[in-house]
Structure 1
Amino acid sequence: MIRRTALLTAATALAGGVSWVVRAAWGLPTALGASQRQLRPTVAGSPQFAEGRFHNAMPTPALEPATARSGLLRQWHEDRHKGLPGAPVPLARPEVPEQASALAVTWYGHSSALLEVDGRRVLVDPVWAERVSPSPLLGPTRLHPVPVSIAGLPRVDAVLISHDHYDHLDLPTVRALLRTQSAPFVVPLGIGVHLRGWGVPENRIVELDWDQAATVAGLTLTCTEARHFSGRFFARNTTLWSSWVVAGPEHRVFFGGDTGYTPAFAGIGARLGPFDLTLQPIGAYNDAWHAIHMDPEEAVRAHGDLGGQVLVPIHWATFNLAFHRWAEPVERLVAAAQARDVTVVVPRPGERVDVLAPPPLVDWWTAVGSADDAPRAPLPTENGNRWTGPARRFSSRR
């Protein structure tokens, strides 16, 4: 009897393990996107494509050898928790007018934002996923709830994608936008193959190489250089990465997406600027991958190269993707901006900013702090979000 019970227990445990593996792998092939074989015919003519992959305009190691790799595993073990907030991240309830304004931005977290430019709306790098990963059970999870559902978004005129990493191109979000919006997806070369495989119709896909442009709803959308890499599995650099310029009759916006610092910003500013607004990535930096992610000081420098007027930081606060403290990117950004007399606005997730009349800088992040800081009293939050304790996960009553 004892042996039979032990066998049943072992069988149950094995079945549970198999079940977990099945759930972790559910939908994996589709989420990974197009294969290298499917991608190559559509990208091989690009000047950026050679020897079977895309290249940056300057030498760009994705991971610094030797010194960086030697301490990376130790850093992962010791410092991973530093990127968690010390308290709930306060949300703002998006208040988007019925008609798009001359120039405004609503930040939803990470690199997802809604631009209003000369009466048109452009959604950039929309990611509404709980987890940025091909798996529903593995990968970095969201550090705050999304401020609004996809169904709650206003009608947009275009969806811009910077590259195919999971924190910028999310399969469930794409499918939701297919159901709720009619706007085209304007993407760098190769990403259209991912989208076609996910059911996006051909007439809603516009693929561009660097320095190519498309006109959508009276806006000129220009695919511009970035210093990064791509890939959704083992194969890297099979699709192009980019920044974007959104230009209307009166106003211009630069969207950095995800990039390391590059002298190309000065050229973009000279050709297509100056810019009323730049959205610059400031988080997930590390010495090990310095070439492909800007730090906050470099974001301020890039803003100056581009001839930017107002800087709004992106690529921070929402996912724990590096080893710095949660609040560190914005703290460093504000210090660097003040030293160079740069106008910075740091919205809460969900907050809309009128760029033509930018509000004064409000420090809301210090009260949140980082998990590595000393304990502090919890913040009151909006939208009914409540802190669920030491696991630092959120639930919502929405």
Structure 2
Amino acid sequence: MTTSRAGELAKLHRSIPVARYRSLVGHWIARWFRPPRPAQHTPVVKPREGECVVTFAGHASVIARYPSLSIAFDPMLGRWVGGVRRAVEPGVAPGDFEDVGLVLISHRHADHLHIPTLKLLPRKATTIVVPAGGAQWVSDLGFARVIELAPGADLELRGIQVIAYATSHGEGELARGLSYVVRPVPGTTEPPGPSLYLCGDSGYFSGFVDIGERFAPDIAFLPIGGFYPSSFRARHMSPLDALYAFEDLRARLMVPIHHGAFPLSYERLDEPARWLLELATSRGVRDHVMVMTAGQTERFPALP
């Protein structure tokens, strides 16, 4: 990350205007006895030519449907991450993944690589992509193909190109991971559908600038939760960090993910989305931020 932007963000985070849990563990225990709130499920529609239909499945899970291929990113339907109970249902069911032909996994943490959910997905004709060295995590699940990608590598499937990029989420096998640029292969469809950027977990870093200069994706799905206390920002962007990343990516629309489902840090569960909208309004980019609720489906044409 550039020194100037890093320093600017550090100064802006000296005071973080979010409500916090007094005791995170106490909140976890209290939630053990409360079932997740229901989520409104929007009927899934088929994409038309030049469209991508996106369903937000809660937490960091996204289903992106192009006319030729449906893609699931970090699918997670479970009600628990360790001892942390889900607060809101995902708004989708296993049947909503029946048309998925490609699964993208960002990294090995259990709220992103959720084996019980993967076992519910169609696998006999489905390809799954994992970070380099990660095939062993999913090799016995029965997927048609398991592909490892290193940062900078890519694959093409049914007219869709996926390019892998590094993230900044810490060291070690569990944390090292990928983000993905997803786009119709140039020249194969007319009009082309929108390009996407999918990021599961990351702190703010200079890699976003590189992606923006090369691709300028139409829609950026960026994580905004798990950032408090401020020391967590090295691995989880705050809403303010995410807006800076959105700017670096040169994207046209930001859809926040990794918020609202699991209370994994001290900011209250609804605070990331609230603060993001407040920031977007004050910075004049409210029309470029769409907060989707769990289970919500939207049509996205190629953006001008």
* Alignment TM class, shorter chain as reference: 0.7 to 0.9
SS at 2:92's partner residue?
coil
Partner of 2:110: 166
Within 1, Cα distance between the matches of 2:122 and 2:134? Answer: 16
Choose from 159, 170, 186 the match for 1:229: 170
Q: Is the 8 A contact 1:189 1:239 kept in 2?
A: no
Within 2, Cα distance between the matches of 1:157 and 1:89? Answer: 30
Q: Which runs of 5+ in 1 are unaligned?
A: 1-55, 57-74, 134-138, 231-235, 359-398
Partner of 2:141: 199
Whether 1:291 aligns to 2:234 is yes
Partner of 1:104: 53
**Where does 1:112-123 land on structure 2 (aligned, <5 Å)?**
112-117=61-66, 119-123=68-72
1:309 is displaced (CA, Å) by 0.7
1:184 is displaced (CA, Å) by 0.3
In structure 2, the CA distance between the partners of 1:108 and 1:307, relative to structure 1 (3 Å rule), is: same
1:124 is displaced (CA, Å) by 0.4
1:229 is displaced (CA, Å) by 3.2
User: If the length of structure 1 is used for normalisation, what is the TM-score?
Assistant: 0.62
Q: Is the 8 A contact 1:210 1:225 kept in 2?
A: yes
1:357 is displaced (CA, Å) by 9.3
User: If the length of structure 2 is used for normalisation, what is the TM-score?
Assistant: 0.81
Whether 1:278 aligns to 2:220 is yes
Within 2, Cα distance between the matches of 1:341 and 1:199? Answer: 46
Within 2, Cα distance between the matches of 1:302 and 1:295? Answer: 10
Within 2, Cα distance between the matches of 1:88 and 1:130? Answer: 8
Within 1, Cα distance between the matches of 2:284 and 2:22? Answer: 38
Within 1, Cα distance between the matches of 2:154 and 2:145? Answer: 16
SS at 2:277's partner residue?
helix
Within 2, Cα distance between the matches of 1:194 and 1:306? Answer: 30
Task: In structure 2, give the amino acid aligned to 1:121.
Answer: S
Within 2, Cα distance between the matches of 1:247 and 1:131? Answer: 32
Partner of 2:100: 156
Cα deviations by residue, 1:189-233 (Å, 9 ceiling, x for unpaired): 12211111x3335x4111100010011121111111210136xxx
Within 1, Cα distance between the matches of 2:267 and 2:217? Answer: 30
1:316 is displaced (CA, Å) by 0.5
| RMSD (CA atoms) | 2.9
Within 2, Cα distance between the matches of 1:311 and 1:89? Answer: 25
**Where does 1:138-157 land on structure 2 (aligned, <5 Å)?**
139-157=83-101
Q: Which runs of 5+ in 2 are unaligned?
A: 2-19, 187-191
1:89 is displaced (CA, Å) by 4.7
Partner of 1:344: 289
Partner of 1:217: 158
**Where does 1:310-325 land on structure 2 (aligned, <5 Å)?**
310-325=253-268
Cα deviations by residue, 1:69-112 (Å, 9 ceiling, x for unpaired): xxxxxx98724456899997562213112456612311010001
Task: In structure 2, give the amino acid aligned to 1:217.
Answer: R
SS at 1:302's partner residue?
helix
The number of equivalent residue pairs is 272
Within 2, Cα distance between the matches of 1:99 and 1:296? Answer: 30
In structure 2, the CA distance between the partners of 1:90 and 1:300, relative to structure 1 (3 Å rule), is: farther
In structure 2, the CA distance between the partners of 1:295 and 1:165, relative to structure 1 (3 Å rule), is: same
SS at 2:231's partner residue?
helix
SS at 2:221's partner residue?
strand
1:317 is displaced (CA, Å) by 0.7
Greater percentage in helix = 1
